[in-house]
Amino acid sequence: SQLGTINLHAGRDLCLETEQNNVQFVIKNNQFIDVKNELKQQTNNGNINYQSAGNNAFTGKKIDVKADQELSLISGRAVKINAQSDILLKTNNSDLKLNVPNGSTFLQTSKSINITGSGQGDLIIHNAGGEIKLDSQGNATIIATNVLTLDSNMITFDGPVDYDIESPQTASSPSASNPASISRINDVTINDAGVAATTASVVDLEYVYQDGSPVKNAPYTITFDDGTQATGQLDDSGQAQLSNIPSGQFSVKYGEDSRDFQPEDNTTPNPLYGQITTADAVHMINSGNTAKLEEAGNLANQAGDWLWGTLQGDFNKNPSTSQIVVGTIISMIPVVDQIMDIRDICANTVLLTDDDKANDSDGWIAFTLTAIGLVPLLGSAIKGVGKVVIKNSGESMEAA
């Protein structure tokens, strides 16, 4: 009926049956199923899928979920289990494992936490070589890799106590297998004719630099759970969309940017270059407007300080990377090389003869690099590279 209602009523049984194709229900609004006794849904060779754009709610006095092989619960964010009474987890023939690769596990209660073994095996708490073990005979063993701390107002030992002051013992790490990956369930779509079909997953890839700019036309390889692979190339925006992706987890490896490497120019040009002539300088002095001249003088002082810091070599306690590089280039000039080596030897000697700094490792490293720099040309290059590495590694550790 296109305008009215169709009611099907039977005094006893109502059967809708098709031999080959489908019995389809297409509902534009809501569907209500009201059953006085039991509602059973059964499929002989396929699946039963429940899918909702909002929430799926199952309510009853008792809900049983049974699987002959495996039961998987997978969630995009969290799985929450809340019970007014007990939560029982039991395995008959295997282990009960809690695997948290990137987080922590908290056991919290307002009363006591009891962890009880049946006496047929050991109860072990292990972490990074430290271990507390309660064996099946009732013995307790505490092993610490480095330091064992017992901190209390009172510690009582009831019985003989043996102290082992030999080399420390490290507990062997128990084997812990990772759980198998759980494949995701494909979405189900129903067309206007009421035919249901699974929808293959769509994966969006994006590869960018730390500043958010795209890695253009980089090749990628995606590996699926079953071992199969697919390859492709990102677009100019560093993105790609893959359709008809099988269910399950996957990993992606990206290649290099297709563009040639272009170093970023971080140099700061002189803002006053070519702007002040001799006549302009005389006019500024006569008029009393010497702001630009003072700025030029400050720039000249900064350049002089930078050049003086470069020429100081190891007498400069905190040289910049650019000063080290320029000093290295200058020290590779014959004769000048030996003069700068003598300068650095004097600086290292002054530092190491100071009683407070005689054991300074940085001073001895600098002295070693200076000794390497005595080798003409190549030694100066190695010395400069070593100083740059030490300078930048120290800054990296401070930033970390």
Query: Residue written as tokens 């292990």?
Result: 126
What is the distance between the alpha carbons of residues 263 and 266, in angstroms, rounded to a whole number?
9
Q: Residue 367 — φ and ψ, nearest 5°?
A: -65, -40
pLDDT of residue 397 exceeding 50: no
Q: In the structure, what pLDDT confidence band is assigned to residue 1 with cuts at 50, 70 and 90?
A: low
Residues 308 and 383 in one domain: yes
| Owning domain of residue 143 | 122-148
Partners of 223 in beta bridges = 229, 251
pLDDT of residue 182 exceeding 70: no
What is the distance between the alpha carbons of residues 103 and 80, in angstroms, rounded to a whole number?
16
Cβ–Cβ < 8 Å for 346, 367? no
Residue 213 lies in a domain: yes
Residue 249 lies in a domain: yes
pLDDT tens column, 196-239: 555 556 788 999 988 888 999 999 998 887 778 889 999 999 99
pLDDT of residue 180 exceeding 60: no
Number of domains making up the chain: 3
332 to 329, 339, 387: CA distances (angstroms): 5, 11, 15
What is the distance between the alpha carbons of residues 247 and 19, in angstroms, rounded to a whole number?
32
Residue 384 lies in a domain: yes
Report the pLDDT value the prediction gives residue 17, as an integer from 0 to 100.
80
Residue 169 lies in a domain: no
> SS3 for 263?
coil
Residues 305 and 384 in one domain: yes
Q: Which residues contact 153 (CB under 8 A, 6 or more apart)?
A: none
Q: In the structure, what pLDDT confidence band is assigned to residue 168 with cuts at 50, 70 and 90?
A: low
Residues 287 and 349 in one domain: yes
Residues 282 and 392 in one domain: yes
> SS3 for 379?
helix
Residues 372 and 309 in one domain: yes
Query: Residue written as tokens 């990956």?
Result: 181
Query: According to the per-residue pLDDT averaged within each range, which of 162-166, 182-186, 275-279, 344-348 is highest?
Result: 344-348
Q: Which residues contact 102 (CB under 8 A, 6 or more apart)?
A: none
pLDDT tens column, 238-267: 999 888 776 667 889 999 998 887 776 666
Residues 283 and 367 in one domain: yes
Q: For residues 23-30, give the mean pLDDT.
A: 72
Final residue belonging to a domain, choices 148, 166, 197? 148
72 to 44, 56, 60, 142, 212: CA distances (angstroms): 21, 17, 21, 37, 37
Residues 293 and 250 in one domain: no
DSSP code of residue 355:
G
Residues 214 and 292 in one domain: no
Report the pLDDT value the prediction gives residue 197, as an integer from 0 to 100.
54
Residues 284 and 388 in one domain: yes
pLDDT tens column, 81-117: 887 778 887 777 777 777 776 666 777 777 777 777 7
CA angle 39–42–46, rounded 5-degree value:
150
pLDDT tens column, 294-317: 777 777 777 788 788 887 887 777
pLDDT tens column, 341-396: 888 888 878 777 777 766 677 777 777 877 787 777 777 778 778 787 877 775 54
Residue 193 lies in a domain: yes
pLDDT tens column, 118-156: 667 788 888 777 888 888 887 888 888 777 787 888 888
Residues 313 and 215 in one domain: no
Residue 89 lies in a domain: no
Residue 8 lies in a domain: no
Residue 299 lies in a domain: yes
pTM exceeds 0.75, yes or no: no
Residues 241 and 296 in one domain: no
Residues 132 and 204 in one domain: no
